[in-house]
Chain A
Amino acid sequence: MAGESLMELELGAPSPVDAPLAPTLRSSFDRLASGDSAALEEIYGLLSRELYGLALWRTGNASEAEDAVQEVFVRLADPNLDLRRVRDPRAYLLTMARRAAVDRLRSRPRGESLEDRVADFLAAPEEDPSLVVDAAAASKWLKRLGEAQREVLFLREYAGLSFRRIGAVTGVSTFTAASRHRLAIRKLRKWMGVEK
């Protein structure tokens, strides 16, 4: 990992995930801006998994993640929003989801123990149930990471965003995003015994 140059940041490079998604999402945004409420369903279909995942990895709680996704769509439905001016709909929605998740974290009662409420961050695919144990262990390690590092991991590994866009979504510099990712991976590999 140390050999991975910081110049591998894909500065400004579009994510391969965006290629098929971006035009459809743009079109849905434009339709919603024109008053077509059906576009909300399309947007949900396209991005609900990512939004829920990000909120889950940020809050560590399934119920709060669901509330965060709901808040995103309630805000998105506001007819006074000028959605045509949004340049990057995907980053815009991810930012909204992250903020909603952070709001949930802030509104938690002080001193509340989350031990019993922590969700599984990863799940085994249905076609390979042998990975269930791995998924439980991975969730335990991910839980040990800080929220900030966890969200960067999600955005990088599962949403496929460049570090520049991760920085924009999470409100940190590109290099901070890259650094968090690198440190998080190193910690995980160390805990797993893959790396000393």
Chain B
Amino acid sequence: MRSSQWPFSGLEPPEPPGDLRERVLTAARVARAADEGRAPVEWTLRLWRSRELWLAWAVGMVFLLGVNAWLSMSGVPGSSRAEVTGAIATTVEATSPSWLAESGSSWKLFEVQRILTADSSSLVERSGGSDNHIETYLALREVL
């Protein structure tokens, strides 16, 4: 077992101390008993190792990616950026400070706020810088 060049023939590494055996085995048994009591870990491991669950996850991911690709390519009506921005401008055109003052409908205010938050800069841009539209926008900001 020793190489021919080994200079310490006849000497051996010391044995582990006699009491180490009991200490080590007791610690190991205690750790094992504690680990066996941890049901959630076992349950999690079963999930982690379950081939069926991994397969279901993979199928789900492929499905979602497929749907995403299909929607991107087919172009659902009303989903393009130009159409959305146009809708915002139309909404604002139909909205005036006087209408806002008369209107007490909170859901309408909420809707306008949502639209403004979504794309307020493009809204001003699309208004062509007309005073009317900018005023409307500023009035809405004050109200909201």
Q: Is A40 on the interface with B (CB-CB < 8 A)?
A: yes
- Complex: how many Å from CA A37 to CA B5? 42
Q: How many A-B residue pairs have CB under 8 A?
A: 117
- Complex: how many Å from CA A158 to CA B21? 21
Q: How far is the CB of B66 from chain A (nearest CB, A)?
A: 34
Verify B11–A66 contact, CB threshold 8 A.
Answer: no
Verify B20–A69 contact, CB threshold 8 A.
Answer: yes
Verify A123–B31 contact, CB threshold 8 A.
Answer: no
A7-38 contact mask (Cβ, 8 Å, vs B): 1 or 0 = 00000000011000000000000000000010
Q: Identify which of B23, B32, B36, B41 gathers the most chain A CB atoms within 10 Å of its CB.
A: B32
Q: Is B53 on the interface with A (CB-CB < 8 A)?
A: no
Say which residue of B6, B21, B28, B41 sits within 8 Å of A80 (CB atoms). Answer: B41
Say which residue of A73, A156, A157 sits within 8 Å of B25 (CB atoms). Answer: A73
**Given A77-B28, A78-B35, A185-B3, A119-B21 contact (CB < 8 Å):** no
**Given A74-B28, A122-B12, A157-B1, A44-B35 contact (CB < 8 Å):** no
Verify A70–B7 contact, CB threshold 8 A.
Answer: no
Q: Is A124 on the interface with B (CB-CB < 8 A)?
A: yes
Verify A79–B5 contact, CB threshold 8 A.
Answer: no
Verify A44–B27 contact, CB threshold 8 A.
Answer: no
Q: Categorize the interface residue count of chain A.
A: 35 or more
Verify A123–B12 contact, CB threshold 8 A.
Answer: yes
Verify A156–B13 contact, CB threshold 8 A.
Answer: no
- Complex: how many Å from CA A56 to CA B14? 9
Q: How far is the CB of A85 from chain B (nearest CB, A)?
A: 11
Verify A56–B32 contact, CB threshold 8 A.
Answer: no
Q: Is B42 on the interface with A (CB-CB < 8 A)?
A: yes
Verify B13–A189 contact, CB threshold 8 A.
Answer: no
- Complex: how many Å from CA A4 to CA B3? 10
Closest 10 CB pairs of A and B: A52-B16, A77-B32, A77-B28, A53-B13, A122-B11, A73-B28, A123-B14, A74-B31, A160-B1, A138-B8
Residues of B within 8 A of A (CB): 1-3, 5-8, 10-17, 20-21, 23-25, 27-29, 31-32, 35-36, 41-42, 45
Residues of A within 8 A of B (CB): 1, 4, 16-17, 37, 40-41, 44, 48-49, 52-53, 56-57, 62, 65-66, 69-70, 73-74, 76-80, 119-125, 128, 131, 134-135, 138, 154, 156-158, 160, 185, 188-189, 192, 194
